Amino acid sequence: MKWRRKYPKLTVKEVKEKLKPLNQTFPPIFYEWMAEYHQAELEDWIEIETEVDDRVFHRVFSLEQMVNLHQDDVDNDEGFEKIYPFAWDGGKNNFCFDYRDPKRPWIIFMDTDYFISYNPEAAEKVCRTFEEFLAILNEQITP
């Protein structure tokens, strides 16, 4: 499995600048990864195991999509205030940072058919850190 990159690599500084409207600090490795893989997609889908089931990973959002989707989600449900989507499954569900508990953040898979305020089970835990998430991806992807 390989990545298909559509856009040139950015600098970490450019990534941080474009994500400023989110008013959230992400792990340094995330900025580096987004600099290289923003809006990249896989040749095919891969499966990532969550606490509930295997879910599909397909594409990384653009930085603008990350900001816009977060704002749209918050406009629809304040429960999304500390949830930041960064990739999707090829349908309408997202992989996200979940900072609702800032001392214990998670990477989650979010079923976007549900409002998090009413259906917290729509947030399926994937792993504790972005480093763990990359390890899961890299097991299945050829650089």
Render pLDDT for 103-141 as a digit per residue (tens, 0 to 9).
Answer: 999 999 998 776 666 677 778 999 999 999 999 999 988
* Confidence band of 70 (pLDDT split at 50, 70, 90): very high
Q: Is residue 124 part of a domain?
A: yes
Looking up residue 91, the CATH number of its domain turns out to be 3.40.1580
Q: Is residue 117 part of a domain?
A: yes
**What does the pLDDT average to over 38-53?**
92
d(Cα 143, Cα 140) in Å, to the nearest integer? 10
Contact predicate 95/86, CB 8 Å: yes
d(Cα 18, Cα 16) in Å, to the nearest integer? 6
Provide the residue count of the chain: 143
* Confidence band of 143 (pLDDT split at 50, 70, 90): low
Q: Is residue 143 part of a domain?
A: no
Q: Which domain holds residue 103?
A: 3-138
The two three-digit tokens of residue 26, written as one number:
């992400």
